[in-house]
Structure 1
């Protein structure tokens, strides 16, 4: 995939351009992700949590 094809679909931010450059030149596509860990105290309703997470994903 070329950088030009990506830009034609959607204009890239400076950060995204750096990520594309790094991925194309260095092959480091796997290095860009965000991981979150959350601690929960008290009662936990798995069904409500799943529904909430699905709502966020749909946005």
Structure 2
């Protein structure tokens, strides 16, 4: 069981390794700055406002 957990942990680490400060900054520019406004025709601010309005803690 421990070996399986070690492999899963290594896979998680490998999967997140690409997310460095540099790649996240690039993501912000490309997706949040350019893609949202130019391709989707929806500014990031509007998407964020919509998200904040409609997402809440799950209530039972």
Q: Shorter-chain TM-score: which interval? A: under 0.3
Bigger helix share = 2
How high is the TM-score relative to the length of structure 2? 0.25
How high is the TM-score relative to the length of structure 1? 0.26
**Which has the higher relative contact order, 1 or 2, with Cα contacts under 8 A spaced 6 or more apart?**
1
